[in-house]
Structure 1
Amino acid sequence: MKYCGSEENQRLERLLRDNLAREMRLWRAPILKGGCIQGSDIAPSLYQEMVIWLREMSEMFKFGSETFALGVCVLNRLLATVKAQSKYLKCMAITSLILAAKINEEDEVIASVKDLLAQSGCNFSTAEILRMERIILDKLHWDLYTATPVDFVYIVSNS
């Protein structure tokens, strides 16, 4: 669909089209099959609990809404890529949020991984989080950033 209009509208259309093409290339949503996320033993209710917990952690760490949204997107892309076990879901979730913070937040805002783990009450070691970071980066081919609903709202509101 070609929209003829001002230069600004054409720029917005090009930006949205480019983001959509990138999202179509990168995005794969977790699929429910047999009451669980396909390829895992993760029930939708457990996944929902984890997203709510991520929101709480994001607020506790004073991360922006963009970081929370990207953390959920990273987690979703990972769940669509790997055969995950529910016992690793919390580790995958907190690591996704930490990676999103490394992309979106200022360095001064992000505490050390050790401090983040202590604040969150997670029983993971720093080494486990770093190992999970490497797994996520490997599985997502080091391309963590995808457009989020927050990005869409920002693009539309600033046009």
Structure 2
Amino acid sequence: MKFCGSEENQRLERLLDDNLAREMRLWKAPVLKGGCIQGSDITPSLYQEIVFWLCEMSETFMFSSETFALGVCVLNRLLATVKAQSKYLKCMAITSLILAAKINEEDEVIASVKDLLVQSGCNFSIAEILRMERIILDKLHWDLYTATPVDFIHIVSNT
């Protein structure tokens, strides 16, 4: 992508190029095979249901749209990396959202893991969430941040 003209356009071009290059290195999407996400028993409808649920949880916790988008990206990268079972999907999803909140939200906005679990209605223990955090961090090589569609909207709208 090449912009002609002002210094501001050149700065925008560098910013977009940098984000696109990082995205190309990190981005992985779950692949559908046989009606399920490859290596799992997670159907597209179950995946869609969990993303809608994550949106509801993000609103319940009063997280930003950036946090929700990053939570979904973390979940997608995880699903593309591991062979997941549907019985763990909700735990993976809520943990992805909690990790995204730790990156994007102010400390005052994030409740304790225990309070988040109570608010979400999840029947997971704090130990299960912490264990899932370690698994996600390990599988994604501690590199959770990836550009989200919301980031690109902000870049383009600020020009």
Q: Using the alignment, how far apart are the partners of 2:59 and 2:23 within structure 1?
A: 27
Cα distance in structure 1, aligned partners of 2:47 and 2:35: 12
- Once the two structures are aligned, what percentage of the paired residues are identical? 90
For these two proteins, the number of residue pairs brought into alignment is 159
Distance in 2 of aligned mates of 1:4 and 1:128: 52
Q: 2-side partners of 1:143 and 1:2: how far apart? A: 29
Q: Which residue of 1 aligns with 2:54?
A: 54
Cα RMSD of the aligned pairs, angstroms, is: 0.6
| Counterpart Cα distance in 2 of 1:99 and 1:2 | 35
SS in 2 for 1:127: helix
Look up the match of 1:34: 34
Separation in 2 of the partners of 1:3 and 1:153? 18
Deviation at 1:3, TM superposition (A): 2.5
Write the mapping of 1:137-156 to structure 2, written as runs, cut at 5 A: 137-156=137-156
Q: Distance in 1 between matches of 2:148 and 2:21?
A: 14
Unaligned residue ranges in structure 1 (runs of 5+): none
TM-score by length of 2: 0.99
Counterpart for residue 82 of structure 1: 82
Instruction: Give 2:57's aligned amino acid.
Output: M
1:102 counterpart = 2:102: yes
What letter corresponds to residue 88 of structure 2 in structure 1? Y
Instruction: Give the alignment's TM-score, normalised by structure 1.
Output: 0.99
- 2:39 maps to amino acid: G
Q: Which moved more, 1:96-105 or 1:2-11?
A: 2-11
Unaligned runs of 5+ in 2: none
